[in-house]
């Protein structure tokens, strides 16, 4: 079974800072990896999807990287804003099967 | 509407009652998934449909749980004889049949069993 770990569990930063969220997974035979954002009591919003053949994806102030061999992905958020406050979840899909395996998330608070 | 819709948003039920949730996926998405999320945890896979066929079921899906996707469109998740441990957010997601496609999630149904 794929184990997905996210560090740190919680992070608090002042507005304007750049920050990095980490995701590690135990089985490197992944198919793709997806980063999501979840606001309290809400569903998940997709941020970035990285295929196993890709090294990174960018969308606006977000950049996600993937290093399959080391079993790691990072989500970089530039110039953080209070509206970025949410829980960020990393999900990994293996080459076999159709389900995503989720980490427990990083709770981000951006202080104005 | 181009998103995944779930109904109801919230459900409070007494222990022992049956509940049913509905998910309407994005219309062109062939794949549909149900996940369960408890407080402070990431979502856990329950089951997966490709069109109307239920292709995968987690061991989390006890015999009190049943899911259907008639005609490959909307899906329902029924929980019979609810228990307090069933209290959670039930999330539905859909994706294209294309290899490598990502998920789009709905807003979820929050179930509270009292």
Among partner residues B45, B91, B104, which is closest to A46 by beta-carbon distance?
Answer: B104
Whole-number percent of chain A with pLDDT over 70: 100
Summarize the confidence of residues A12-20 as an average pLDDT: 97
Greater confidence (B98 vs A6) lies with: A6
**pLDDT at A4 exceeding the cut of 90:** yes
Q: Check CB contact of B10 with chain A, cutoff 8 Å.
A: no
Secondary structure element (H or E) that encloses residue A1, with its range: none
Q: Report the pLDDT value the prediction gives residue A10, as an integer from 0 to 100.
A: 96
d(CA A39, CA B43): 14
With helix as H, strand as E and coil as C, how does chain B read? Answer: CCCCEEECCEEEECCCCCEEEEEECCCCCCEEEEEEECCCCCCEEEEEEECCEEEEECCCCCCCEEEECHHHCCEEEEECCCCHHHCEEEEEEEECCCCCCCCEECCCEEEEEC
Beta-carbon contacts below 8 Å between A and B: 59
Q: Nearest CA to CA, how far is A30 from chain B (Å)?
A: 11
B84 contacts: CB under 8 Å, gap ≥ 6: B15, B113, B114
| Chain A residues whose beta carbon lies within 8 Å of the beta carbon of residue B32 | none
CB contact under 8 A, B105 and A44: yes
CB contact under 8 A, B43 and A49: no
d(CA B80, CA A59): 43
**pLDDT at A96 exceeding the cut of 80:** no
d(CA A68, CA A27): 9
CB contact under 8 A, B33 and A98: yes
| Chain A residues whose beta carbon lies within 8 Å of the beta carbon of residue B89 | 41
Confidence of residue B38 (pLDDT cuts 50, 70, 90): very high
Q: Is residue A24 a contact partner of residue A89, using CB atoms and an 8 Å limit? A: no
| Chain A residues whose beta carbon lies within 8 Å of the beta carbon of residue B103 | 34, 44, 46, 91, 100
Q: Of A47, A29, A39, whose CA–CA distance to A90 is shortest?
A: A47
Summarize the confidence of residues A80-86 as an average pLDDT: 97
Among partner residues A31, A46, A103, which is closest to B100 by beta-carbon distance?
Answer: A31
Q: If you average pLDDT over every residue of chain A, what do you get?
A: 94
Least confident of A67-76, A96-105, B42-51, B101-110: A96-105
Q: Is residue B11 a contact partner of residue B20, using CB atoms and an 8 Å limit? A: no
Q: Report the pLDDT value the prediction gives residue B79, as an integer from 0 to 100.
A: 97
Q: Which residue has the tokens 């039930």?
A: B90
| Chain B residues whose beta carbon lies within 8 Å of the beta carbon of residue A31 | 99-100
Q: Is residue B72 a contact partner of residue B29, using CB atoms and an 8 Å limit? A: no
CB contact under 8 A, B43 and A44: yes
Q: What is the pLDDT of residues B11-29, one digit of tens each?
A: 999 999 999 999 999 998 9
Q: What is the pLDDT of residues A26-74, one digit of tens each?
A: 988 898 999 999 999 889 999 999 999 999 999 999 999 999 999 999 9
Q: What is the pLDDT of residues B42-101, one digit of tens each?
A: 999 999 999 999 999 998 888 999 999 998 899 999 999 999 999 999 999 999 877 677
Q: Is residue A104 a contact partner of residue A6, using CB atoms and an 8 Å limit? A: yes
Closest residue, chain A, to B3 (C-alpha): A45
Max Cα–Cα distance, chain A, nearest Å: 44
Q: Nearest CA to CA, how far is B17 from chain A (Å)?
A: 24
Supply B100's token pair.
């490598």
């Amino acid at each position: 079974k794929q184990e997905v770990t996210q560090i740190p569990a919680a992070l608090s930063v002042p507005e304007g800072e750049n920050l990095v969220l980490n995701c590690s997974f135990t089985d490197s035979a992944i198919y793709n990896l997806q980063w999501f954002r979840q606001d309290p009591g809400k569903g998940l919003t997709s941020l970035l999807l990285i295929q196993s053949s890709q090294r990174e994806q960018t969308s606006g102030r977000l950049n996600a990287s993937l290093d399959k061999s080391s079993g790691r992905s990072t989500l970089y958020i530039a110039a953080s804003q209070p509206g970025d406050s949410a829980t960020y979840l990393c999900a990994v899909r293996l080459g076999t099967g159709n389900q995503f395996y989720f980490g427990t998330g990083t709770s981000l608070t951006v202080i104005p | 509407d181009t998103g995944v819709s779930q109904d109801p948003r919230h459900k409070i039920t007494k222990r022992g009652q049956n509940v049913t949730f509905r998910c309407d996926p994005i219309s062109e998405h062939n794949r549909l998934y149900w996940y369960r999320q408890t407080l402070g945890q990431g979502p856990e896979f329950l089951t997966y449909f490709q069109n109307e066929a239920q292709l995968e079921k987690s061991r989390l899906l006890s015999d009190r749980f049943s899911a259907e996707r008639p005609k490959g469109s909307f899906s329902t998740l029924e929980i019979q004889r609810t228990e307090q441990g069933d209290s959670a957010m039930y999330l539905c997601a859909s994706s294209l049949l294309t290899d490598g496609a990502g998920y789009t999630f709905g807003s979820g149904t929050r179930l509270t069993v009292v």
